[in-house]
Structure 1
Amino acid sequence: MPLTPLDIHNKEFGRRLRGYDEDEVNEFLDQVIKDYEALIRENKEIQNQALALQERLNHFSNIEETLSKTIIVAQEAADEVRSNAKKEAQLIVKEAEKNADRIINDSLNKSRKVSLEVEELKKQAAIYRARFRTLVEAQLELLNLEGWDSLEVAPSLASENVRGS
């Protein structure tokens, strides 16, 4: 079970002759409590940010999926329009060609626009992933700093010094 600020606050050390200065120990514990609480708050904030970013990523993934389906539907619609235009062309060649060209051009323009939007969303998702990866890597680097190790070793050294006195 992880150590809580309240555990640190409530920790009492045995008293011995020529032991540590009680005021110094209490001041140090107060500082440890403040720092630990700040780290807990920061961790909670980072978790909240990660959840928010994951929700945004899910949202963009849903948009990407919807756009992919839209492209398929647009392509199917374009194929159907071409087929109908050929049938009409047999009956009224000139009029059918004019209508078919106009419809095909509109469909292609829409398809191009949708494709461009999909590419833009993919770029935005890649940027988001890169920024998120950078954030996570930066946090991991902070956790790997030597200062963290000294926080874990200091209480055990203090207890050894108290026993040795």
Structure 2
Amino acid sequence: MKYTPRDISHQTFPTRLRGLDRVAVQTFLEDVAHELEDLLRRQAELEARVEQLSAELAEKKEQEEEIRRVFVAAERVSHDMKENAIRESELLIAQATTQAQDVQREQERRTAELERTHQERLSALETAYRTRHTDLERQQHELTLKREQEHAQRVAHLEKQFSDQYLELTSRLNAARQEYSQFLNGYRALVNSFAELSSRHLLPEPTKLPQQVAQPVPEPTRPVNVIDQSFQ
């Protein structure tokens, strides 16, 4: 036999991503090992029974030989008892032969029955294994689809959150830019109005003293706006 119950119960398999349930596979292998052990035990019992029947058959054959020896002795003892002894021996031989045939037929019948039962059990185990394997594959496929759906829903939710936040920030940025543009336009208009007023009201030139050197008048500097720098 290629595998023993111990080999089946201690059989290991390589693991892969999204593989089968190892506990379910190990439980199934232990059940198969128990079933195989029971079948081996029953086979051993049947073999012992066959040996017993063979011993009985050999014993019957020895009895047959004893009967033949008795027949020979009876033939030598008395010629008159020859025919009766012959008939008796033939009857015993017929009975022994009938019993041997009956035992042989019973043995063949029981052997065929055990073989049929063994095949049916193996077929049932194979069917159960295929059914269980199919169920496990279906469950694995369902779990995979469920995980993919949950992942797709999560990604869609995150994308929606990102899109909403991006739109909100973009809207706030556009509003800030518009506000800054309005402020900058107002500031420029105010500077232009100051420049226009200063051009209309020129100050008189100061009288130069002999020892005083004329100093250049510095041009008015434009105030630096923090908001303007941040959007340059």
TM over 0.5: yes
Q: Match for residue 15 of structure 1? A: 15
Q: How many matched pairs?
A: 132
User: Structure 1 residues 144 and 31 mapped into 2: Cα distance closer, same or farther (>3 Å)?
Assistant: closer
1:115 aligns with 2:90: yes
The Cα shift of 1:110 comes to: 4.4
What's the CA shift string for 1:41-70, capped at 9, x where partnerless?
Answer: 111111111111111111111111221232
The Cα shift of 1:107 comes to: 5.3
Which structure 2 residues correspond to residues 1-165 of structure 1 after superposition, within 5 A? 2-79=2-79, 104=80, 108-145=83-120, 147-148=122-123, 151=126
Query: Any idea what SS the aligned residue of 2:78 has?
Result: helix
CA contact (8 A) 1:74 1:111 kept: no
Counterparts of 2:121 and 2:40, CA distance in 1: 19
The Cα shift of 1:134 comes to: 1.1
Counterparts of 1:137 and 1:4, CA distance in 2: 23
User: Structure 1 residues 2 and 142 mapped into 2: Cα distance closer, same or farther (>3 Å)?
Assistant: same
Higher relative contact order (CA 8 A, sep 6+): 1
> Any unmatched runs of 5+ in structure 1?
80-103
Per the normalisation by structure 2, the TM-score is: 0.48
CA contact (8 A) 1:74 1:107 kept: yes
- What amino acid does structure 2 have at the position aligned with 1:117? L
Task: Name the stretch that deviates more: 61-70 or 115-124.
Answer: 115-124
The Cα shift of 1:146 comes to: 7.9
What's the CA shift string for 1:10-48, capped at 9, x where partnerless?
Answer: 211122221111221121111111111111111111111
Counterparts of 1:26 and 1:57, CA distance in 2: 46
CA contact (8 A) 1:71 1:111 kept: yes
What's the CA shift string for 1:79-135, capped at 9, x where partnerless?
Answer: 3xxxxxxxxxxxxxxxxxxxxxxxx2x555444434333322222222111111211
Task: Name the stretch that deviates more: 68-77 or 7-16.
Answer: 68-77
Q: Percent identity?
A: 22
> Any unmatched runs of 5+ in structure 2?
138-232
Counterparts of 2:105 and 2:14, CA distance in 1: 51
Q: CA RMSD in A?
A: 2.9
Higher helix share: 1
Task: Name the stretch that deviates more: 68-77 or 124-133.
Answer: 68-77
